[in-house]
Each structure stands twice: as C-alpha cells, then as structure tokens.
Amino acid sequence: MKEPSPTKQGDKRYALLMAARDSDYVKKAYGGYFNVFLAAFAEQGERWDLFRVVDGEFPDVDDLHCYDGFVVSGSPYDAYGNDKWILKLCFLLQTLDSMKKKVLGICFGHQVLCRALGGKVGKAMTGWDIGLRRVKIVEDLLPPFSGRFLEDSLSIIECHQDEVWEVPPAAKVVAVSDKTGVEMFAIGGHILGIQGHPEYTKDILLSIIDRLLNDGFIEVSKMNENGLVMMQ
C-alpha cells in the first residue's frame, strides 16, 4: 500500500522507490528523504508518489503505465542481498525495463538496477568512498538524459562501500573515477544509474559521516579542499 504523501499535481507523474528509512536528522531537518528528492528532482506541475519498498510497499503492476518515470533511492542494504523486498524490487525493475519506462537509480538504486538487468555488483575493491568525488564523463547520453551533463567531468557526493563490478550486457559505462570503475551507466534512453548522490546536501552527508564514525564503521583518512571526508 502506498504511503499517503504530499505530491505535486500535473501532467507528469513519477514514483520514488524508497529503499532506506528516514534518519532522525533528515526527519528533523527536511521532514524525510521524500522532501530531499523533491527538492533535487521535482519540477513545477509534476506529481510524485512515494513507495517505501524497503518496507514492502510497491506500486501495483496495473498502475505502472501511469508513471512517466521512477527513481530508486540509496539504501544501507546490499544490492546483492536476497531480502524478499530486494528480490521483488529486481523483478519490478526488470518489468520497467521491458516497458521501456525511464528509471534513475542512485547508489543502491544504481547497483540494484545493474543486478536486476544482468550485471554484477559486490563490495568495493578499494573500500568505502565517502565525500566529494570528481568523476569523468566518458560517453554521451541519449535523450532524455543528454544535455544533463555538459562538462566532461563533475563533482558529486559519494557514500558507498559497494559498487558495480560489471554492467549489464546492454549497458554502457558513462562515467568513471579514480576510485570507482562504474560511476554511471546507461541503457538506451530509459535507464540511468548513478553511484553518487545528486540529491544529498553537505549537511546530510556530514550527519551520515558522524553516525558512521560514532558506530565505528569508518575512520577519517584526510580532508579535501571542500572540508569533506575522503575515505581511502
């Protein structure tokens, strides 16, 4: 069952497939991750629906045709895990691909898209990547993604310890970095995976870093010119 949530009404309709639960900080500062995604991606006149797939809430298969696109969020879960909701999400993504629906996957979403469509994912060979990372665009994108990245490189916030090992057979690698071999991949003009977090703000990243440091999951290795932690 879809969680009642604020939407932007209009001709275009999108679904956010939320694979993480709201942190205390994000709930207090933004009212939840849904609002963070709206601020990053929603445009005036659009309608956005929220499905908390991490809690088993999925769109009805009969309603998929009503949506212009889908966004799969990040998650603390492993995209290669066999939790029931992750397997159901993989099946949904396969269905959306067969319908040629536009899908954007972010971090975990990027990885689970890869897995669902025939690629391989696993633990990052070089460990955690947290902070601001410069990525290099190596392939042009097809519409409607073309024109979104006008420079040959860009900086994006990263927060992951898993990565894409091998893209799906139909995919092409769009961006790389000195830390991660597949920062972005695309399939035609309807699938785009991004390892980084274009929706994150600096304060959200710092709150995550504080939590990971306090829980002993990471250690600070150095600071970059933007004052963000870079993990080696």
Query: Which residues are known catalytic residues?
Result: 107, 197, 199
10 Å CB burial of residue 106 (0-12, 13-18, 19+) is buried
Which residues, 6 or more positions from 162, have their beta carbon under 8 angstroms from its beta carbon? 78, 79, 80, 108, 111, 121, 122, 123, 124
| Cis peptide preceding 144, ω within 30 of 0 | yes
Separation CA 55–CA 34 (nearest Å): 15
Separation CA 100–CA 187 (nearest Å): 10
